[in-house]
Structure 1
Amino acid sequence: MPDDMSLDPLRPGQLLARGICRHLASHDFACLEEFIPAPGLRVDVMALGPKGEIWIVECKSSRADFTSDRKWEGYLEFCDRYFWGVDEAFPSELLPLESGLILADAYDAEIVRMPEADKLAPARRKAMTARFARHAARRLQGLRDPGAIFSI
């Protein structure tokens, strides 16, 4: 049997990301999981909204997962709004109040706290939107042609 990542069980953060992406899709957002906005950074969910807004959601499944994260502040310069995605059992008092909060499970989510928008500069927005589109197209191409070799 070929090595197929889709057969691997989803980790807790991936389950949260799935529910968050489903919820954001109901608000007309297109989502990419495990997106790389810049070298050395990987966000759990990047969402592109119907008016071109860019949201990042970082999924945390436990206190240890949150306290070990040292990169999240570097994501702020790549989005208009930044959210934490957690489940009901997560101690949400740990999360910075200026960021958004999404409660999620593997099937859906709810936006509990909407952060203030910090609008991206037009050049950064254009670059991120193009990067998002290219990444999404390459993922789709990879599904059609798993043997293709290309960089993301």
Structure 2
Amino acid sequence: MSLSDLQPGQILARGVARALRGYGMASVAEMPLRPRLRADLMALGPKGEIWIVECKSCRADFQSDRKWQGYLDWCDRYFWAVDAEFPTDLLPPETGLFIADGFGAEMLREAPLSKLAPARRKALTLDFARRAAHRLQVANDPRLPILPED
């Protein structure tokens, strides 16, 4: 799939996913958390830490997002990913920030740590692993049915 086939938020997610590998993180795009709550990018670190990155392609996209604070209960660190033209002063200063494009991203502000409860971490880690494995299986065998949430 080329960049021209992707939506603006997907382009940002691609660049951030590439950058996250440099932090030792594995990521899954469009990760369902609960009904009507889906993280643009969820990343799992080598020590089990969980980051969520929400990708915003423009001011209107950010201003229409009424549910971003709901993601805070589902991660250890929460970040925004925007492009270089985005007015970053709109973003809450108590969140992390990546500036991204389709080829990479740079972390401008680290998100504060807010550790998940152990039971939620375990459940999210299992969901993450299963989602990633199902997607890999479908990529290797396209005739398999896709999960309803994907």
Shift of 1:109: 0.6
Map of 1:3 onto structure 2: none
Instruction: Give the distance between the partners of 1:49 and 1:99, measured in 2 at CA.
Output: 18
Whichever structure has more strand as a proportion of its residues is 2
Residue from 114, 119, 142 that aligns with 1:118? 114
Deviations 1:60-94 (A, max 9, x none): 01000001111211111100000000011000000
Q: What are the ranges of 5 or more consecutive residues in structure 1 without an aligned counterpart? A: 1-5
Instruction: Give the distance between the partners of 1:150 and 1:65, measured in 2 at CA.
Output: 28
Instruction: Give the distance between the partners of 2:30 and 2:10, measured in 1 at CA.
Output: 9
What SS does the corresponding residue of 1:42 show, helix, strand or coil?
Answer: strand
What pairs with 1:1-152 in structure 2 (closer than 5 Å)? Answer: 6=1, 9-149=5-145, 151=147, 152=149
Instruction: Give the distance between the partners of 2:83 and 2:145, measured in 1 at CA.
Output: 37
Matched residue count: 147
Between 114-123 and 140-149, the greater mean CA deviation after superposition? 140-149
Structure 1 length as normaliser, TM-score? 0.92
Structure 2 length as normaliser, TM-score? 0.94
Q: What are the ranges of 5 or more consecutive residues in structure 2 without an aligned counterpart? A: none
Instruction: Give the distance between the partners of 1:106 and 1:149, measured in 2 at CA.
Output: 29
Shift of 1:150: 5.2
Instruction: Give the distance between the partners of 2:28 and 2:64, measured in 1 at CA.
Output: 23
Q: CA RMSD in A?
A: 1.3
For 1:66, the aligned partner's letter is F
- Runs (4 or more) in structure 1 with deviation over 2 Å come to 149-152
For 1:17, the aligned partner's letter is A
